[in-house]
Amino acid sequence: MSEKDTLLDNLGRHGISRRGFLKFCASMASMMALPPGAATVMAETLGKARRPSVIYLSFQECTGCLESLTRSFSPTLESLIFNAISLDYQETLQAAAGTAAEAAREQAMKDNYGKYLLMVDGSIPTRDGGVYSTAAGKTNLETLEDAAKGAAAIIAVGTCAAFGGIPYAKPNPTGAVPVSDLIHDKPIINVSGCPPIPAVITGVLAHYLTFGALPELDSNRRPLAFYGDTIHDRCYRRPFYDQGKFAKTFDDAGARQGWCLYELGCKGPTTHNACATTKWNQGTSFPIESGHPCLGCSEPGFWDAGNFYSALSTTTAPLGAWSGAAIAAGAAIGLAAGAASRHTQKEAKQAHHVVTAEELKNKEEQS
């Protein structure tokens, strides 16, 4: 595909008709919760879109985000959008390596200065000058600052790039920070999730290509079309929540009947994401449909928010709060916190009933 070709020209050469393209746009409009009729507008505009340059940088991450974006069992509609962009640099996917790869990135940045989209996954270590993650002799910090200068916009892919993620978890030994802590003069869109839903990335790119701008964002800079509702808002188990029917354990009668997983720690009520409608694994299900509570992986700080299996109503760190007060109020309250801690430990010991071999034997004989 040359620079002058439109997306529709390219698709036409691959035997894709206008009806096929309209079908694609209908799917995209559906995912982005655009109003009826938007598919036609999108088809007209997106069809004329030129090929934008995309630089994709990976920092402190596990490659799960890229796996999510690229792993599919067969070519999907989403792949069409990726065919429509010029992915000029991606360390994992590109064939080039070493000096040649770095030179290609420099050239793409120079040729498309001010116009390319910068996609980033992973957080950026800043402690000790950012030495904890380097590539080609440059720290992630230097690479990001350099690449951000000529970017039209930055898409932070995954919770690590968006909010710091797992590397940011206490005690954060590398001083990891999200992209938005370092870059302040470019539009940044956060596509959070661990990993993020691939269709969300496609949707953001399609929106950018269609409307020439990033979509409307929420207060955490996430696209409202995908993060406007909570998992709870769109959860098919919601009627059970409304009726007060909750599974108490993972294998009780309520769990088997598909009751609400709130008491098993579901973070759906406070988690904004599109899993409940977009789903995973070829549209098969999403965590709650598979019987597991939502962990809240698209929210800032989910990694340090306490036990995944405690209900939202359970306070997460009472002792931490007391300790904070102790610093302010002096040693007396500090002693109180210490006493509270010992009391909690004692309670835990009492609650932990140890069964002896003799008791087990008696129980067996009784049954």
Partner 1 sequence: MSTISDIPITVDNGTSPSGHPVLRALLQEIETLLHNLAETGTGGSVDLRSLPLFPGDYQVLQDSLGQGEIQVTLNSLGPSTIYETAVPGVWWITHRNEAEEVVAEFIEVTRCPAILQTPAEELPQAIAQLRDLDQQLSET
Contacts with partner 1, residue ranges (CB under 8 A): 16-20, 22-24, 26-27, 30-31, 33, 36, 40, 72-77, 80, 233-236, 238-240, 243, 257-258, 276-278, 281-284
If the CB atoms of residues 56 and 286 are measured against partner 1, the closer one turns out to be 286
If the CB atoms of residues 55 and 69 are measured against partner 1, the closer one turns out to be 69
Sign of CA dihedral 352, 354, 359, 364: positive
If the CB atoms of residues 281 and 307 are measured against partner 1, the closer one turns out to be 281
Distance of closest approach, residue 233 Cβ to partner 1, in angstroms: 8
If the CB atoms of residues 43 and 179 are measured against partner 1, the closer one turns out to be 43
Distance of closest approach, residue 24 Cβ to partner 1, in angstroms: 6
Distance of closest approach, residue 281 Cβ to partner 1, in angstroms: 6
Distance of closest approach, residue 31 Cβ to partner 1, in angstroms: 8
Among 79, 149, 156, 57, residue whose Cα is nearest residue 112: 149
b/e per residue 144-175 (b: at least 16 CB within 10 A): beebbebbbbbbbbbbbbbbbbbbbeeebebb
Q: How far is CA 168 from CA 123, 130, 249, in A?
A: 8, 14, 31
Distance of closest approach, residue 207 Cβ to partner 1, in angstroms: 17
Q: Where are the alpha helices (H) located in the chain, listed in sequence order?
A: 7-13, 18-31, 38-47, 64-70, 77-84, 98-111, 140-149, 158-163, 165-168, 198-211, 224-227, 238-243, 253-256, 275-278, 318-329, 331-351, 357-366
Distance of closest approach, residue 40 Cβ to partner 1, in angstroms: 7
If the CB atoms of residues 33 and 62 are measured against partner 1, the closer one turns out to be 33
If the CB atoms of residues 45 and 134 are measured against partner 1, the closer one turns out to be 45
d(CA 268, CA 275): 10
If the CB atoms of residues 285 and 345 are measured against partner 1, the closer one turns out to be 285
The first and second tokens of residue 316, run together, are 């997460």
Give the residue carrying structure tokens 């640099």: 89
Q: How far is CA 259 from CA 88, 264, 283, in A?
A: 47, 11, 21
Distance of closest approach, residue 239 Cβ to partner 1, in angstroms: 5
If the CB atoms of residues 179 and 276 are measured against partner 1, the closer one turns out to be 276
Distance of closest approach, residue 68 Cβ to partner 1, in angstroms: 15
24-29's contacts with Cβ under 8 Å and 24+ in sequence apart are 24/77, 24/80, 27/77, 28/202, 28/203, 28/206
Q: How far is CA 46 from CA 41, 203, 367, in A?
A: 8, 12, 70
